[in-house]
Amino acid sequence: MPRSHILQRLISSPVSPIPLAAYRPVAILQTQKRHSSHSPLGSPPTTSRKRVTLDTLRSFHRKDEPITMITAHDFPSAHVADHAGMDMILVGDSLAMVALGMEDTSEVLLEEMILHCRSVSRATKAAFTIGDLPMGSYEVTPEQALQSAIRVIKEGRVQGIKLEGGTEMASTIERITRAGIPVLGHVGLTPQRQSSLGGFKVQGKTTIGALKVLEDALAVQEAGAFAVVLEAVPADVASLVTNKLSIPTIGIGAGNGCSGQVLVQVDMSGNFPPGRFLPKFVKQYGDVWGESMKAIQAYKSEVKSRAYPEPQHTYPMPAHDLSEFKRLIESKSA
């Protein structure tokens, strides 16, 4: 039965001398300060900063100031990354594993990437945001890639896209950049193609391999990419490649000689159970899993023991209203 009908029946009961007009639920609500427990935004950062643009990143590169980049896959992870002052936030296709529980990056769909890009973009107020093009969304033709890139920018609300590949993707990168969309390249270990590479193996360990990394990076630069990710490349090779380029390099497992660094947030923050494999290049800066476990276990314990919620966690009701409410329901059940 609708709540208004129940209230009407109680108030119109012969035992109640109080008319319906005396009950003012709207007025009561107006006197209460209500906050949703699911409000997405908290306080703004204590130190405001200007939005990072391509010019900002180029300025960092000219001044030899390292560029910081981290992945995010939803509103909370992007929110904390932006508050922490990251220069760039990447909605990487690694979310296939860390957010969607898939086996590898080849499973994630363009539509799923766009959904996560939208979530990240809502939280990011200053960092430069990049969305990954997933496998199957850009390899067929440059036109297919452009259409996918437009969707990621227009629907995902990010500021640029990333795609994997070197010389073979140069024409694709050129087509996308000619349309005015910033492209972040990705050479070295390209996870979407790990099957053809024999697994997740370091690239550029031989002279021929190192020359291939350089060739790919130069091709990406010539095609118009504003920067390039170097993944799983020997540090000396990455440093030499960086010195040969006029655009920034973002390293992941490529040593300290790159123009910047990127890590998967779940990895570096320790948001995973004990025993999970971590690549050699990952440094764990926190223990989000452990802290979350302690908090959730404490919550469970207090709920079971009825220690939570305490009075300070509840909403009071005026004593006379509570008394009248009790009288009404008791008289109704009598």
DSSP H or E segment with residue 185: strand 183-188
Task: Using alpha carbons, select from 263, 264, 211 the residue that is nearest to residue 233.
Answer: 211
Amino acid identity, position 276: R
Task: Using alpha carbons, select from 165, 156, 191, 184 the residue that is nearest to residue 87.
Answer: 184
Task: Using alpha carbons, select from 251, 249, 289 the residue that is nearest to residue 267.
Answer: 289
Q: Which of 143, 174, 215, 231 is catalytic?
A: 231
Tokens 């020359």, located at residue:
211
- Decide if 231 is catalytic: yes
- Taking the C-alpha atoms of residue 49 and residue 52, their distance in angstroms, rounded to an integer, is 9
On whether the CB atoms of residues 229 and 252 are closer than 8 A, the answer is yes
Is the peptide bond between 234 and the residue preceding it cis, with omega within 30 degrees of 0?
no
- Taking the C-alpha atoms of residue 69 and residue 117, their distance in angstroms, rounded to an integer, is 15
Residue 40 C-alpha from the chain's centroid: 14
Q: Long-range contacts for 269-276 (Cβ within 8 Å, ≥24 apart)?
A: none
The two beta strands, 160-162 and 67-71, are unpaired
On whether the CB atoms of residues 229 and 187 are closer than 8 A, the answer is yes
The two beta strands, 128-132 and 160-162, are parallel
Q: Which residues are marked as active site?
A: 231
